[in-house]
Amino acid sequence: MAACSPYGSWKSPISSALVAESGIRLSGVQVDKSGKHPDRVYWSELRPAEGGRIVVCSKDGDSQPTEWTPEGFNARTLVHEYGGGATFVHSGVVYFSNFKDQRLYRQTSPDAAPEAITPADSGWRYADGEFCEKLNIITAVREDHGVVERAEAKEAVNTVVAIHPDTQEQFVLASGLDFYASPRVSPDGKKICWTQWNHPNMPWDSTEIWQADMKPDGKGVMEAHKVCGGDDVSVMYPRWSPSGELYYISDVTDWWNLYHVTPSGDHVAIAPQEKEIGNPHWQFGTTPYDFDADKGVIITSYGMELGVYDMGSGKYHTNVDTGFKTHVYLVMGGKGCAYCIASSPTQFPCVIRVNYATSKTDTVKSSKEVPVDTGYLSIPEEVTFPTAGGDKAHAYFYPPKNKDFTAPEGTLPPLLVRAHGGPTSSCSSTLNLNIQYFTSRGVGLLDVNYRGSTGYGTIYRNKLRQNWGIHDVDDCCHGALYLAGNGKVDKKRLAIDGGSAGGYTTLASLAFRDTFHAGVSHYGIGDIVSLEEEGHKFEARYSHTLIGPYPECIDTYRDRSPINHVDKLSCPIALFQGGEDKVGLSITYMKSHVM
């Protein structure tokens, strides 16, 4: 029988030590499109116990997993600093970017020593690679930091290159813009496509997809032309179908949807809907759709839900029941099976294999076993609530949950509001023990997808333009008050926390509003001027969209920086900051004034 105890006092098996025990982080699910090893799936594991080293693994059918990356190597690229897309496979060979020297390596078997296929000490980094068998080349995004080291440029230079793995020769295929992604050669080796964009845009703002004819020797391109995008339209993830037709994702109709360029040049939406497919391009290497050439279908992940599109009939369905809620890194294998990373409110991310015709699902690799009974796990409720300016915002509300306790009748729980990082990102319903730590103790938690978050369409995503520090703050405050007004939580016990950009929202909420009674900032941004003066190339102009052009709007930057308003902080606040974090100095200053 459950004991009666006040909210916030419940005893929980989810300890802080249990929360801190990090499982592996899964990413980069891939299959070998050459047809070799059709039952083999590859993935990458970030291992906290090994200092964050990333190891490539594979599994054939029902065999045991195999590790590829030997000690001393780390399959991680630093292109755009955030990396992703460090690994690709072809004909049984694993290619990867090594963290220490940022060179590309190839590995012919799990027991073989990796062999470098790009020059040493060049200052070059590589990501988003793919092997083209027709031309015997690798296409990849190359980021040149050597030009900065030699004082030839103020920031790194990004290009699309062709790499001949046997000779280490490299040839530039696309150049002149600030950023590139997704270089993909058509199955016949005659065409190439890629995504490109310039400052101050981020890849979710305004991007273009281009196409060009490949030279027969693979050493250059001819007759490049724009396919789509630009003019405030975000396009991404272009890919060629097995028959050589181009597909891509675009938000031209307000939602990131999948499109097909027909042989006649028409751009046709594939299963259009008011859901989004894909995530913002913070990292390379994500795969939100793939083709089954044998069955003539496309596997998609609209709204993180698996869907099947029949290219012959044009019919689309979502009758694939995996038992999970979210599905990312989606690829097609053989025998009608798809692979992806799946998760749910009661399951940590894991690599799964699913037969999309029968829904038969097998777990290939789990990131971490669930260490407690589900009776201690709070299942989130999706909440839409009114916010400032007559708008609406979204969140996940996790009510208190502990099978061993109940609260005295007529009492309400305290609430912790959480602001996600990014800020152009989102929170999901995936199991997170950091959340369950609080809910299992009788504290409610509201995970807010404030205006500017992804997954709710372009209009919603763009609402944070020029409004960072305003709309995100308003939405966190209004979300808390909405729950209190509906009798879900105690209005007198409201707190907020967040990390990075979410830490900034936390600090701004405490400095500029009086909704919350306590807060915690994890590596938060106290001085947003520092983003402009100390940021890396990828995010160097990000704040121009979020706040305004710099230095023209420097007064706005200063006005929205909590460091300049420490006198307005009137409630308890905890500040956590890494010693090597570039924004740490501003937090140190805040500590000295708050404490």
How far is the C-alpha of 460 from the C-alpha of 454, rounded, in Å?
8
Q: Is 189 a member of any domain?
A: no
Could you report the per-residue pLDDT of 360-402, keeping only the tens digit for each?
Answer: 999 999 999 999 999 999 999 999 999 999 999 999 999 999 9
Q: Is 132 a member of any domain?
A: no
Which of 315, 336, 367 is the last residue before a domain boundary? 367
pLDDT of residue 595: 47
Q: Is 342 a member of any domain?
A: yes
Say if CB 508 and CB 521 are below 8 A apart: no
How far is the C-alpha of 95 from the C-alpha of 118, rounded, in Å?
11
How far is the C-alpha of 270 from the C-alpha of 311, rounded, in Å?
9
Six token digits for residue 572 = 């308890």
Q: Is 240 a member of any domain?
A: no
Range of the domain at 48: 24-116
Which of 333, 349, 367 is the last residue before a domain boundary? 367
Q: What is the mean pLDDT of residues 286-301?
A: 95
341 and 488 assigned to the same domain = no
Location of structure tokens 């941004």: 525
445 and 543 assigned to the same domain = yes
Q: Is 437 a member of any domain?
A: yes
Question: How far, in Å, are 379, 504, 566, 590 from residue 594 at the CA level?
Answer: 36, 16, 7, 6
Q: Is 192 a member of any domain?
A: no
578 has a pLDDT exceeding 90:
no
pLDDT of residue 534: 77
Location of structure tokens 């010693």: 579
Average pLDDT over all residues of the chain? 96
Query: Strand, coil or helix: what is 196?
Result: strand
Q: What is the mean pLDDT of residues 581-593?
A: 52
88 has a pLDDT exceeding 80:
yes
353 has a pLDDT exceeding 60:
yes
112 and 69 assigned to the same domain = yes
335 and 455 assigned to the same domain = no
Please tell me what DSSP assigns to residue 7. T
339 and 483 assigned to the same domain = no
Say if CB 178 and CB 199 are below 8 A apart: yes
390 and 473 assigned to the same domain = yes
- Number of folded domains in the chain? 3
Say if CB 106 and CB 93 are below 8 A apart: yes
Six token digits for residue 167 = 């000779």
Could you report the per-residue pLDDT of 430-446, keeping only the tens digit for each?
Answer: 999 999 999 999 999 99
Say if CB 25 and CB 367 are below 8 A apart: yes
Which of 318, 347, 367 is the last residue before a domain boundary? 367
CATH of the domain at 9: 3.40.50.1820
Q: Is 271 a member of any domain?
A: no
470 and 541 assigned to the same domain = yes
493 and 347 assigned to the same domain = no
383 and 351 assigned to the same domain = no
Say if CB 170 and CB 189 are below 8 A apart: no
334 and 388 assigned to the same domain = no
347 and 398 assigned to the same domain = no
Q: What is the mean pLDDT of residues 158-183?
A: 98
Beta bridge partners of 499: 522
How far is the C-alpha of 225 from the C-alpha of 249, rounded, in Å?
18
Q: Is 294 a member of any domain?
A: no
Say if CB 431 and CB 347 are below 8 A apart: yes
581 and 528 assigned to the same domain = yes
